[in-house]
Each structure stands twice: as structure tokens, then as C-alpha cells.
């Protein structure tokens, strides 16, 4: 395997090799068992995603054919037009973006300071606080649905943006604190000591000395929070059922009737909903992976 790896690298660097030799080398690399197994895994993961995108491009008649067509034979954008002009997926998408972005910003600003305090400042009871936060962040939201529904009803915040934003902020602060605290702890202490000695205020120290050092951590926390808000379903279904305030998951789940499920429209909207997350994951995959492992490494 190692030879294969170095070989490919060498060829890539020079790029002067005859095409046939390069293809042969590539073939051999693919045929080594880990690569073949990885390809199988990739196919298993990608196949349903392909099917979603392919279906979104098929006209309704083609979606209902009995042996389904492997490739959209009469590809059309009609489903996309249907989802975003004739139906309200445009509104749902905007609602999702609005709620997720604002909640993410709030989560970051709250947990940056809390994470710093829990990482560096001499608070009593840090360990119980951190453990409680971890447990809260993993708590099944069903336990919160009814009380939050009643609370929001009393405040008149059912079917509103601020209600959902407040709940999403609170649900995601705990995990963000965990991630950020771990990153803050990895910053050398000398940095802040210099800032303190130079007479910087605490606020300034955090904002202009600590946060810039912890940029990867901030990105990680942001992506995790955004993904959690973007995909959340139960609370959104409980609090925001009015068509105008539905988020994407609620809109997608409640679309169609019991007897006809317009899959073309659903998958057109679904494909669009996957794109922002797919872009985030592609661009920041390192941050996401390190966030996943922050849990694994730090506990």
C-alpha cells in the first residue's frame, strides 16, 4: 500500500509518465483491498444521495414507473420550480436559514465567554458544571416539548422566530462550551498573561487575544451548532406549525397527504436543503472531524 501511495504521488508530481502506465498504477491502487473496501463503503453511502438527486430531476410520470429508471431520462427542473414557486419551500428555507444563523451567533457569543471562564478562571464546581452541561446537551428533547410549548404559549411566542431561536440557543450552548473550552485550554497561558500585564481589560483579552487563537474551535462550534439547528425537528414541529414559520424539516415532513406523497417536489427541496450543509462539511471537514473527536478525546 505504501509503495502504491508513494508511486501515485511521484507520478502526480512529475506527470510525465505515459498514460497507460499511469492508468495501470491507478488500477492496481484501486484493486488493493482497503481501497476496494473503501470504494464499496463510499458507494453504499453515496447511492441514496444519488437517488435523491436523480429523483428530484425526474418528471412525475418517471418517478412512478415500476422498474425505476436508473438515470433521469427526461431530466427537468420542474420539481424545483414546483417546490419553490408553487409551494412554500422557499419560505421554509429562509426560516431555517434565519433561525439557524441567529441561534449560531448567539450560541457562539454566549459560550465563548463561558468556555473561557470554565477553561481558565478559578470557578468552584467546574467539574459538576461541565458534566451537567454534557448531560443536558444529550438529553432527549421530548422531555422539554410540553413545558416549552406551554411556556411559549404563555409568552405568545408560539409560531415566532424568537421562540425557536431562544430554544435552539439554549440547547446548543452546552456542547459549544465543551468544544470551546477544550480549544481554550490548548492555548498557551503566556499569551493572556502578557495581555493582563499590559493592562488589557478582561473583555479585551478574550476578544482580541484568546478568540483569534481559538479560531478553529470557534469554527467547529459554529458548524456543530448550525447543523444541529438546521436538522432539528421535534421542537420546531411543536412550536412552529403555522405555514409561515415552518422550518425546512417540518415543511418536508408535513408536505403531501396520506395518500399521495409528491416525492419529486420533496426531493427537489431536500436536495437544496442538503447543499449548504454539504458545502460547510466539504470546506470545514477538518473542523468537523476535530469537533467529533473533541468529544472522543476529552470525554
Partner 1 sequence: MTDSPGPANSPDDEDGQAIPYSGAPGPDRDVPLRPVPPGAPGAPPPATASPRPEPPRPERRRRRRPTLHPGHHRTALERRFARLGWMFATPALLVVLAVTLFPIVFSVAMSLSNVQVSSGGFRLSGLTTDNYAMLLGSERWRQALLFTVLYTVGTVLAELVLGTLVALVLERLSAGRGWMMALLLLPWAMITVVSAQLWAYMYNGVYGVLTSVVEGVTGSAPQFLGTPGPAVVSMAVADIWKTTPFVAIIVLAGLMMLPREVTEAARVDGAGPWTAFWRVRLPLLRPALTIAVLFRILQAFGIFDLPFVLTGGGPGNATESLALLGWQVMFTNLDFGPGAAVAASTAGLVLVGCLVFLRAFKSRVGDEEAGA
Using CB under 8 A as the binding rule, the residues of this chain from 194 to 233 that contact partner 1 are 196, 202, 206, 216-217, 227, 230-231, 233
Q: Where are the alpha helices (DSSP H) in the chain?
A: 2-14, 19-31, 33-56, 60-63, 78-81, 89-120, 126-138, 142-155, 161-185, 189-197, 202-205, 211-213, 215-231, 234-239, 248-254, 263-283, 285-298
Nearest distance from C-beta of residue 44 to partner 1, angstroms: 7
Nearest distance from C-beta of residue 98 to partner 1, angstroms: 16
Q: Is 131 in the site for partner 1 (CB under 8 A)?
A: yes
Q: Under rule CB under 8 A, how many of the chain's residues touch partner 1? A: 117
Applying CB under 8 A, among 41, 75, 155, 242 the residue interacting with partner 1 is 41
Q: Please give the Cα distance from 108 to 97 (Å, whole number).
A: 16
Q: Is 259 in the site for partner 1 (CB under 8 A)?
A: no
Nearest distance from C-beta of residue 144 to partner 1, angstroms: 5
| CA distances for 43 relative to 36, 40, 49, 211, 272, angstroms | 11, 5, 10, 40, 22
Using CB under 8 A as the binding rule, the residues of this chain from 270 to 299 that contact partner 1 are 270, 273-274, 277-278, 280-282, 285-286, 288-290, 292-299
Q: Is 139 in the site for partner 1 (CB under 8 A)?
A: yes
Cell of 92: 421554509
Q: Please give the Cα distance from 215 to 204 (Å, whole number).
A: 16
Using CB under 8 A as the binding rule, the residues of this chain from 142 to 181 that contact partner 1 are 142-151, 154, 166-167, 169-171, 173-174, 177
Q: Is 89 in the site for partner 1 (CB under 8 A)?
A: no
E strands present in the chain: none
Applying CB under 8 A, among 19, 44, 71, 259 the residue interacting with partner 1 is 44
The torsion of the CA quartet 226, 231, 235, 237, rounded to 10 degrees, works out to: 140
Applying CB under 8 A, among 31, 186, 242, 244 the residue interacting with partner 1 is 186
Q: Is 129 in the site for partner 1 (CB under 8 A)?
A: yes
**DSSP sequence for 246-266:** --HHHHHHH-S-SS---HHHH
Applying CB under 8 A, among 10, 23, 31, 38 the residue interacting with partner 1 is 38
Using CB under 8 A as the binding rule, the residues of this chain from 4 to 23 that contact partner 1 are 4-5, 8
Nearest distance from C-beta of residue 85 to partner 1, angstroms: 21
CA neighbor of 185 nearest in space, from 203, 208, 210, 204: 210
Amino acid at each position: 500500500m505504501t509503495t502504491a501511495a508513494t508511486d501515485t504521488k511521484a507520478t502526480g508530481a512529475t506527470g510525465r509518465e505515459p498514460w497507460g502506465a499511469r492508468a495501470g498504477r491507478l488500477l492496481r491502487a484501486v484493486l488493493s483491498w482497503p481501497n476496494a473496501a473503501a470504494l464499496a463503503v463510499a458507494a453504499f453511502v453515496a447511492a441514496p444521495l444519488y437517488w435523491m438527486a436523480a429523483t428530484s430531476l425526474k418528471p412525475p410520470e418517471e418517478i412512478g414507473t415500476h422498474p425505476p429508471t436508473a438515470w433521469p431520462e427526461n431530466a427537468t427542473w420542474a420539481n424545483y420550480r414546483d417546490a419553490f414557486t408553487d409551494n412554500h419551500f422557499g419560505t421554509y428555507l429562509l426560516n431555517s436559514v434565519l433561525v439557524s444563523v441567529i441561534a449560531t451567533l448567539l450560541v457562539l457569543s454566549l459560550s465563548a465567554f463561558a468556555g473561557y471562564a470554565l477553561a481558565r478562571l478559578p470557578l468552584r464546581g467546574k467539574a459538576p458544571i461541565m458534566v451537567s452541561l454534557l448531560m443536558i446537551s444529550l438529553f432527549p428533547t421530548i422531555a422539554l416539548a410540553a413545558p416549552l410549548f406551554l411556556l411559549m404559549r404563555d409568552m405568545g411566542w408560539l409560531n415566532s422566530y424568537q421562540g425557536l431561536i431562544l430554544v435552539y440557543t439554549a440547547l446548543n450552548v452546552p456542547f459549544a462550551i465543551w468544544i470551546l473550552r477544550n480549544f481554550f485550554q490548548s492555548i498557551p497561558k503566556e499569551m493572556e498573561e502578557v495581555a493582563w500585564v499590559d493592562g488589557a481589560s478582561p473583555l479585551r483579552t478574550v476578544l482580541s487575544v484568546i478568540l483569534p487563537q481559538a479560531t478553529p474551535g470557534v469554527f467547529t462550534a459554529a458548524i456543530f451548532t448550525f447543523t444541529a439547528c438546521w436538522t432539528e425537528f421535534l421542537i420546531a414541529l411543536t412550536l412552529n406549525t403555522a405555514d409561515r414559520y415552518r422550518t425546512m424539516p417540518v415543511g418536508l415532513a408535513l408536505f403531501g397527504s396520506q395518500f399521495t406523497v409528491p416525492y419529486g417536489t420533496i426531493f427537489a427541496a431536500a436536495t437544496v436543503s442538503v447543499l449548504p450543509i454539504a458545502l460547510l462539511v466539504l470546506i470545514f471537514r477538518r473542523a468537523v472531524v476535530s469537533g467529533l473527536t473533541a468529544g472522543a478525546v476529552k470525554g
